Amino acid sequence: MRFIHIADVHLGAVPDSGCPWSASREKEIWETFQKVVGLVKKEKIDLLLIAGDLFHRQPLLRQLREINYLFSEIPETQVVWMAGNHDYMKEDSAYRKIQWGENVHGFFSGQPEILYLSRLHTWVYGLSYEQREITERLYDSIRPNGKPGYHILLAHGGDEKHIPFGKEIAGGFTYVALGHIHKPQVIIPDRMAYAGSLEPLEKNDVGPRGLIYGQITGGEWAGGVSVKIQTGFVPIASRAYLPLEITIHSATTQLGLEQKIGEAIEQKGRKNIYLIHLKGFRNPDMEFEKEPLYRLGNVVEIKDDTRPCYDLDKLKKQQEGTLIGEYIRSFDGKEGAVEQKALYYGLQALMEPEL
């Protein structure tokens, strides 16, 4: 039995609102979701698990018709979804109004339920959020029913306000498909993992995003061979947020810096979104302008931690007897990183009071 586990698609989200690439991002989230359905079809995947927050907010009926249509294109695949804390199921939720296809199974209550997918010898356990926050440890009480078959738990949350749980909830389950944390992470190898958001949704979502592919074999119905599971992460997001650290030196000019950043963006991909971090020692009379740097690509943030590179020995001699000279002298023998930082900041304040 082969499955794909996704979570936190957040359809309808508009990442980096106000940035030039923002509108494309909203569209790309839908496109990547379509890509997953296409992959399911092409690879003849048996089971598609959606571990909550398929939508960023309450889905509209017309949006769910699109989803239902996409799922009707993969009739051989069983789809199991739950509502998470973002798209939690209200009394009048559109999730309850749509006539879902036969291959689509949702959890329609806030109480634990079990779905049996007979053709796949698979039991799927779960529930849907019916409010934004749930502090009860609802997953602690969900245990495999002991019947023959693969036992999969679909769970969303894991923090204080969203059904807290630990790795012990995996006890007895073949696989636990997690959602809510947007960074993909394995909690128990091949047993319990967060798929992460399908697309990165904000600048802290650094690194690749995608889906978890899994294969379960064995079982009593397969000649009594013991049950085995293998999983792997597959990046599928259309872009990534990438930190770009640039170290400058005393000879770096504005144009030189722009060229360096431009080349790095070219090399790492123009489609990605960059968080630029400037480090190193700049010429004391050099101040980098940020505005032109934002225009070099999809730049969402620029952090300038450069410091002026004063020639301390020369300065000390030149400023003998002045406040600046005394200030430098007061740091004699203090080589720690914190002291050095204080020295440079202080010097900057004394020497460039207009800043």
Query: Residue 260: CB partners within 8 Å, gap ≥ 6?
Result: 246, 252
Nearest CB to Mn ion, comparing residues 194 and 241? 194
Least Cβ distance, residue 181 to Mn ion (angstroms): 8
Nearest CB to Mn ion, comparing residues 84 and 297? 84
**Applying CB under 5 A, which residues contact Mn ion?**
53, 84-85, 180
Q: Is the distance from CB of 189 to CB of 228 less than 8 angstroms?
A: no
Tokens of 347: 């010097």
Residue 87's CB is within 10 A of a number of other CB atoms, namely 26
Least Cβ distance, residue 227 to Mn ion (angstroms): 30
Nearest CB to Mn ion, comparing residues 180 and 282? 180
The angle formed by the CA atoms of residues 72, 80 and 147, to the nearest 5 degrees, is 130
Q: Which of 259, 262, 256, 306 is nearest to 284 (CA)?
A: 306
| Cα 216 off chain centre by | 26
Beta strands in the chain (DSSP E): 2-6, 47-50, 78-81, 104-106, 113-117, 122-126, 150-156, 175-179, 185-188, 192-194, 210-219, 225-235, 241-248, 273-282, 298-304, 307-308
SS3 state at 273? strand
Q: Look at strands 113-117 and 122-126 and give their pairing.
A: antiparallel
Least Cβ distance, residue 130 to Mn ion (angstroms): 14
Nearest CB to Mn ion, comparing residues 181 and 278? 181
Tokens of 162: 């969203």
Nearest CB to Mn ion, comparing residues 70 and 195? 195
Tokens of 38: 């296409």
Least Cβ distance, residue 114 to Mn ion (angstroms): 22
Least Cβ distance, residue 29 to Mn ion (angstroms): 15
Least Cβ distance, residue 87 to Mn ion (angstroms): 9
When CB distances to Mn ion are compared, the closest residue is: 180
- Residue 35 phi/psi, 5-degree rounding, is -65, -40
Nearest CB to Mn ion, comparing residues 162 and 239? 162
Least Cβ distance, residue 155 to Mn ion (angstroms): 11
Nearest CB to Mn ion, comparing residues 182 and 282? 182
The angle formed by the CA atoms of residues 132, 84 and 38, to the nearest 5 degrees, is 150
